[in-house]
Chains A and B, each alone.
Chain A
Amino acid sequence: MKLGIVIEIFKNVFTKPMTVLFPFERIEIPERNRGEHEFNIDTCISCGACARICPNLAIKMIEVPSELREKYPKTYPQVDLGKCCFCALCEDICPKGSIKLTTNFYFATFDKDDTILYPVKAE
């Protein structure tokens, strides 16, 4: 019994720790991880299905800024990450695959307005 503990201690001295040194090493994030949204406005058909299924009402269909309205005349989804629960129902329901959840999960910010994802960024 006591010898078993000694053997275990020696084993643990020579094995790698369970944790990683975070900023220098990172654990692998799987492909399916549900993180920040990636939106492709060019394939979007403005069907509004993502806004319809969103359980937290985080997606709202809005118009793009006036200077881009000629190119994108319809309404497009704007995601409020403050309300989002990262369920990926919008990804599943999108008929064109325009909205996708990526592996990025670094959301910390100092400005509340940064948490809103606009369909296109105004210049």
Chain B
Amino acid sequence: MTEINEQEIAGDFSMYFGPAHPGSGNFSIKVEMRGERVLKATADPGYLHRGFEKLMEYREPMQNAVLSDRVCVLEPLQWNLVHAEAVDYLMDYEVPERAKYIRVILAELSRIQSHFIWYAAMSLGTGFMTGFNIAIGYRDYILDVLNLITGGRVYPAGYICPGGVRKDLPEKAENKILELLPKIEYMRKFALKQNPAWLARFKEIGTLTKEEAIKFGAVGPILRGCGVESDVRRDDPYEIYDELEFDVPVMDEGDAYARFTVGMQEIEESMKIITQSIDRLPKGEVKTPNLKPIVQFQKAEGEIYIRNELSRGEGAFYMVATGQKTPYRVKIRGPSFTHMIPILEHLLTDVAYADVPAIYWSMYQCPADVDR
């Protein structure tokens, strides 16, 4: 690595990548350049800081369920699930079996549409507009089904609430979900096509070794792309994941292409999970019987750290209740937090500027859960 002496050479300068760049999200990186090389990058988050952790201390659990969608735009249902599980533990709610299955089906649908967005963002970042349009179009089919079930296309507004889910599945929703699967499979194959331009942009770019990945706290597809077989759904099972059969795809290369391929292979596993859960979907209640319309932590005391496998990796809620109406302290661990600050800064040292978008989008960024 070269030392940066300020303005020693005419070609030395620093500039911002983002936040107004299309697709970079509300996030920017200050890059220090020498000619075409990036010498050092400094992440600059905070454009989307909404103070959720503080805000949740002033709201009751049911209202927080609505708020928890907003942690990340791309995977609101899964954040709903993490929050609901934390409250379930603290309030001792026994979640009915049917609700657990519905939760899992929706979380996996949410994971698939989030992976489509990943493909869309990577295409957009590298100038492949066709890929972007197709992925967003196919994501819309999933959003239609989510709208049918939860009542909102993107935000379910606390559909997965403490103690179960807010409403049972509507009629024929199972068929609608099963009709989606061939479309998802088509899109997945499209994304995995061996495109020479795609390979040239992403192969052997932004390589992360196994040791570095663990030390920097990488999670999810980023970690599995480096050859570590770790999935919260399998290692720390929640809901009904321990009863379902699915594989954990792993690749050893650790470059941008490996991370992306792992993500696309996960779609297949998610489809397996959806088919299995719909096959076994039991009948019955979807809410725990002792759920009151207004949930308060009046009798609950204690704390819990709930980890879930979101589409980006491990997302967690740390919640402390002290017997007040509202939680005493909430800490949200977004999976992108470690990806976007320490790992991105590490990967963006001494690379060509043309590779910055490829590395940036291969980290599966979501600025919303960095800032919270």
Report A's interface with B, CB cutoff 8 A. 18-19, 27, 29-34, 49, 52-53, 55, 85-89, 92-93, 101
Among A32, A34, A85, A89, which residue has its beta carbon within 8 angstroms of that of B62?
Answer: A89
**Contacts A52-B294, A53-B293 hold; do A85 and B170 have CB atoms under 8 A apart?**
no
Interface size on B, residues (CB 8 A): 21
B293-A55 in contact (CB<8A) = no
Q: Is the CB of B152 closer than 8 A to any CB of chain A?
A: yes
A30-B157 in contact (CB<8A) = no
A89-B151 in contact (CB<8A) = no
Which stretch, B140-148, B199-207, B333-341, B356-364, touches the partner chain A? B140-148
A and B contact pairs by CB, cutoff 8 A, 8 listed: A18-B140, A19-B137, A32-B167, A34-B151, A52-B294, A86-B157, A87-B66, A101-B151
A18-B137 in contact (CB<8A) = yes
Q: How far is the CA of A122 from the CA of B290 in the complex (A)?
A: 42
Q: What are the 9 tightest A-B residue pairs by CB atom distance, in nearest-first order?
A: A55-B63, A87-B157, A32-B151, A87-B66, A30-B148, A18-B137, A34-B151, A93-B293, A55-B66
Among A27, A86, A89, which residue has its beta carbon within 8 angstroms of that of B63?
Answer: A89
Distance of A8 from chain B, by nearest CB (Å): 10
A-B contact count (CB 8 A): 52
Q: Is the CB of B125 closer than 8 A to any CB of chain A?
A: no
A88-B63 in contact (CB<8A) = no
B148-A87 in contact (CB<8A) = no
Distance of A50 from chain B, by nearest CB (Å): 11
Q: A33-B151, A89-B66 are in contact. List 9 more A-B contacts (CB 8 A).
A: A18-B137, A32-B170, A33-B152, A49-B293, A53-B294, A55-B59, A85-B157, A87-B158, A89-B158
Q: Which residues of B in the span 148-204 have a Cβ within 8 Å of any Cβ on A?
A: 148-152, 157-158, 166-167, 170
Q: With a CB–CB cut-off of 8 A, which chain A residues contact B157?
A: 34, 85-89
Residue of B nearest to A29 (CB): B147
**Contacts A27-B144, A31-B170, A55-B63 hold; do A92 and B293 have CB atoms under 8 A apart?**
yes
**Contacts A87-B157, A88-B157 hold; do A32 and B63 have CB atoms under 8 A apart?**
no
Residue of B nearest to A27 (CB): B144
Q: How far is the CA of A27 from the CA of B140 in the complex (A)?
A: 12
Q: With a CB–CB cut-off of 8 A, which chain B residues contact A89?
A: 62-63, 66, 157-158
Q: How far is the CA of A19 from the CA of B137 in the complex (A)?
A: 8
Among A31, A52, A85, which residue has its beta carbon within 8 angstroms of that of B66?
Answer: A85
Q: How far is the CA of A116 from the CA of B74 in the complex (A)?
A: 30
Q: How far is the CA of A32 from the CA of B170 in the complex (A)?
A: 9
Q: With a CB–CB cut-off of 8 A, which chain A residues contact B148?
A: 30, 32
